[in-house]
Structure 1
Amino acid sequence: MLEVSLRHGFGGFSLDAAFTAAPEGVTALFGPSGCGKSTILKAVAGLLRPDEGRIALDGEVLLDTAQRVMLPPERRHFGLVFQEARLFPHMNVATNLRYGLRRATSGATGPSFDEVLALLGIEPLLDRRPARLSGGERQRVALGRALLMRPRLLLMDEPLAALDAARRAEILPFLARLRDVARLPILYVTHALDEVDALADRLVLMEAGKVLAAGTVEELTARTDLPLATRRDAGVVIPCIIASHEPERGLTRFRFAGGELLAPLQTEPPGTRLRLRLRARDVSIALAPPGDISVQNVLPAKLAAIAPTGSPHEVFLHLALGETTMLARITRDALDRLGLVPGAEVWAMIKSVTFDHARGG
């Protein structure tokens, strides 16, 4: 487990943050630009000495300013991937990758050269130089080089921020596959919520140099007391499994801990685990099952709580569907007209076309 506790000040900015990251999977540092995410990553990498702090990985102390311990970056054996791929321009892809392999710690375990090629789909690129690669291809090669170093921890500083939407969509599945196959802790800095949905197991939510909350993505997206709830795309992330396909209707049936949902037809086979983002503004409420409507998903729910949205004219409804919590964002007028109070039995109506699909763990 990675343990981080830091205090640092520079240029009028003050960082005071503490959190832990799991031994495997992706812990995302999420927040607006300038909130201190990259500063934390640099301190973990050993590239920045904070004013005060302690960092430990699996019980080994890497930094302890009180004890004057500061392990240099090369002895931490971490892999780093930045916004820019930082490949050697005079080397082809194969040589760039083997540079990482040469820097691997003696005796360390990890994927082989051929396994990395297959994992990231970069075997066809081996003879090319970086100038002849697309942005997404360069980032995949940079990932491969970092993996071949057999790191104890992989640090990723907004690796998709410099890519356009098409290249980001291209590389996200490779990052998800890396998370599932590599079996090592990954600290991932981002300000893009779709990357959190697709990749993160745990979320550290930051603002103005402080950790506002830390927990699973499912837990934090269901909280309406956090800045995530102020976004227009606010909503919960729900772990699901593909139950079946109905190609004649163009639909896929998802099962979750609380019922089933229909969404546009997917290509993944039944049994595939996914996470779906369900936006609060796309959930409507009825007091009885409606008939003759186009909405595919009408699910029974209990109104667990009513919370403010920050707007005087709207509220959040916390809806309990078995073990799952969903959010609905409705007007105060609708709340009053329907006479909604906590404990009420309602029907949640969700359009199938509003689901954002993200491969989950």
Structure 2
Amino acid sequence: MLNCQFEYHQADFTLQVELTSQAPVLGIVGVSGSGKSSFFKCLAGLLQPQQGKIQLNQQILLDSQQGINVPVHQRNIAFIFQQACLFPHLNVLQNIGYAQRWKQASAPKFASSYIVELLGLVPLLKRKAHQLSGGEAQRVAIARALLSSPDLLLLDEPTTGLDLQLRQQLLSFLNTIRQELAIPMLYITHHLEELEQLNAPQLCLAEGRLHYQD
């Protein structure tokens, strides 16, 4: 259960949503500048709202009245940006393994070998980031995110810059994740057909308010 009530610049709204294994993806749409990315950054802890409260499952991540603001690395939220943001001096295997450094104290949700196989990364493990296509780099970023054992996955227009073929390929992998792993996901996109392929209902962020889209 994600509970969020906060004010940040033009966005001022309350959201309460339960993402289940049957419907683990929720789409967030809206015009450029409506606050979608700022919303995600507030959830992840990269931005601090002016006021409000954010709760994921039973953990309070932010409560401005109580002075609670959980650090980014303790929120168990993984963020996939428009660009893959890989470490250029590391190969694919090293990039993926970096996520598990933060999870040494607890058992990971998924085995590294399983995620690598699931996302078709076996042939790419020794390549450096600059040797990857945009779609390959995003798959590596997603694998790294999954191996951090997140409770929530945020995807901010992950198909940006990809041609139609690579977009379809990445969506196919995301569908596999949706079906096999049931990780709760919030997904920002300007392409409504992507949400249809992911079987995701839509919320529209407009004028600082979230509206359900039929």
- Larger Rg: 1 or 2? 1
Distance 1:109 1:74 in 2: 15
**Greater relative contact order (CA < 8 Å, ≥ 6 in sequence):** 2
List per-residue Cα deviations over 1:198-247 (Å, max 9, x = no partner).
1243322221221122xxxxxx43xxxxxxxxxxxxxxxxxxxxxxxxxx
Match of 2:14 in 1: 18
Match of 1:80 in 2: 79
With over 3 angstroms needed to count, the CA separation of the structure-2 counterparts of 1:105 and 1:30, relative to structure 1, is farther
SS in 2 for 1:172: helix
Aligned partners of 1:77 and 1:105 also within 8 Å = no
Match of 1:42 in 2: 41
Aligned partners of 1:21 and 1:202 also within 8 Å = no
Match of 2:163 in 1: 164
SS in 2 for 1:154: strand
Match of 1:7 in 2: 7
Task: With the length of structure 1 as denominator, give the TM-score of the two structures.
Answer: 0.56
Give the Å deviation of 1:158. 1.1
Q: Which amino acid aligns with 1:103?
A: W
Give structure 2 stretches of 5+ with no counterpart: none
SS in 2 for 1:211: strand
Provide the aligned C-alpha RMSD in A: 1.5
Give the Å deviation of 1:88. 0.7
SS in 2 for 1:41: helix
Distance 1:141 1:3 in 2: 29
Distance 2:118 2:18 in 1: 23
Give structure 1 stretches of 5+ with no counterpart: 214-219, 222-361
Give the Å deviation of 1:105. 5.7
SS in 2 for 1:103: helix
Match of 2:146 in 1: 147
Aligned partners of 1:93 and 1:129 also within 8 Å = yes
Aligned partners of 2:52 and 2:64 also within 8 Å = yes
1:174 and 2:170 aligned: no
List per-residue Cα deviations over 1:18-57 (Å, max 9, x = no partner).
2123243111111121111111100000011111111101
Aligned partners of 1:28 and 1:190 also within 8 Å = yes
Distance 1:138 1:4 in 2: 31
Aligned length: 211
Q: Which amino acid aligns with 1:2?
A: L
What is the percent sequence identity of the aligned residues? Answer: 38
Give the Å deviation of 1:69. 1.1
Q: Which amino acid aligns with 2:59?
A: E
Match of 1:343 in 2: none
List per-residue Cα deviations over 1:316-337 (Å, max 9, x = no partner).
xxxxxxxxxxxxxxxxxxxxxx
Give the Å deviation of 1:103. 2.2
- Pick the structure with more helix per residue: 2
Give the Å deviation of 1:178. 0.9
Match of 1:189 in 2: 188
Give the Å deviation of 1:134. 0.7
